[in-house]
């Protein structure tokens, strides 16, 4: 866990996949064929708290989805890339825009499409539902499943490593 804390201490940008990470990976369609998703509110609060400590947030998703765009706006996500076919290209663009080095970034993903980012960032994280071929390339696998607290767990891990979590907690205990 010491190595994870050292990597998390450097994080200035948390990048996330969506389906299977911010959601449980299920796709819901109504009779008109419109898609909807379910997001876990505690993940959202964790992201807002992390962002309040100065860590920037980004989404890089293989799917373009209005539900995700709405959620990203609601959470004031700093950078949103939807409908990305090559996540390595999106990562390069994001690093260029932010000026961050790869080792200053964390990424949480759940499937093979995420490997081009997971293998390049300083803190690579998977959810437990990720296939073994993905988990083996990660520094950390969350205990909580995607769409059910995995992102909150990672946000708190980063804040604890950076020494900001106690201050966040103290605001609620005051």
3-state secondary structure 27-54: CEECCCCCEECCCCHHHHHHHHHHHHCC
Is 86 a known ligand-binding residue?
Answer: no
Is 110 a known ligand-binding residue?
Answer: yes
Helix (H) or strand (E) holding 4: helix 2-9
Is 73 a known ligand-binding residue?
Answer: no
Helix (H) or strand (E) holding 140: strand 140-141
Is 43 a known ligand-binding residue?
Answer: no
Residue 109 sits at φ, ψ, to 5 deg, of -140, 180
Is 24 a known ligand-binding residue?
Answer: no
Is 63 a known ligand-binding residue?
Answer: yes
Cα-atom radius of gyration of the chain, to the nearest Å?
Answer: 15
Quickly tell me which residue has 């190595």 as its tokens.
Answer: 3
Is 97 a known ligand-binding residue?
Answer: no
Residue 78's nearest CA partner among 102, 111, 100 is 100
Long-range contacts of 126-131 (CB under 8 A, 24+ apart): 127/20, 127/21, 129/20, 129/25, 130/20
Q: Could you tell me which residues are annotated as the binding site for substrate?
A: 19, 48, 63, 71, 87
Binding residues: 17, 19, 48, 63, 71, 87, 110
Residues that constitute the known binding site for Mg(2+): 17, 110
């Amino acid at each position: 866990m010491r190595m994870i804390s050292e990597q998390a201490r450097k994080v200035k940008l948390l990048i996330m996949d969506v389906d299977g990470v911010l959601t449980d990976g299920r796709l819901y369609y109504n009779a008109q064929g419109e898609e909807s998703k379910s997001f876990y509110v505690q993940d959202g609060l964790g992201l807002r708290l992390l962002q309040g400590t100065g860590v920037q947030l980004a989404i890089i998703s293989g799917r373009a989805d209005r539900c995700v765009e709405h959620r990203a706006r609601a959470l004031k996500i700093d950078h949103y890339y939807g409908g990305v076919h090559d996540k390595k290209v999106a990562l390069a663009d994001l690093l260029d825009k932010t000026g961050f080095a790869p080792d200053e970034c964390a990424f949480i993903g759940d499937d093979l499409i995420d490997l081009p980012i997971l293998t390049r960032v300083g803190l690579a994280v998977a959810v437990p539902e990720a296939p073994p071929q993905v988990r083996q390339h990660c520094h950390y696998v969350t205990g909580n499943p995607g769409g059910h607290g995995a992102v909150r767990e990672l946000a708190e891990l980063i804040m604890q490593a950076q020494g900001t979590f106690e201050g966040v907690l103290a605001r609620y205990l005051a």
